[in-house]
Amino acid sequence: MQLTTISGKSPLAAAIRYALTRMERLRPYLDHGILELDNNAAERGMRAIALGRKNYLFVGSEAGGKAAAIAYTLIETAKLNAVDPHAWLADTVARIPDYTITKVDDLLPWRWNG
């Protein structure tokens, strides 16, 4: 079977050129089936931020904004690790005074045993 030649200016040719110039970066997705071709997990993580964008106008200050960003990061990290954010934060905040800096990694969501 012989394939017909397509015009170099066609959308199909542009799509093929696009894929070929990025083949080195696309190859791992072909070689390792566990890798996902989308960024849905990242977009789900950003959803809470996008939904609350109007509320961020009222954090009060730059320091308040940084505190809110830290809180959202902690909550979303717990969710991504299948940990109840409320239970994890309550337990972690209660334990922090008794923890040394060298053991604080044990309180991270992926290591937490509530």
- pLDDT, one tens digit per residue, over 2-60 is 456 778 788 988 888 898 899 898 888 888 888 877 878 778 777 777 777 777 777 78
Domain ranges of the chain: 8-37, 40-107
The helices-and-strands tally (H runs, E runs) of the chain is 5, 0
Q: Residue 76's closest CA among 106, 51, 42, 53?
A: 42
**Residue 81 near residue 110, CB atoms below 8 Å:** yes
- pTM listed for this prediction: 0.55
Confidence of residue 1 (pLDDT cuts 50, 70, 90): very low
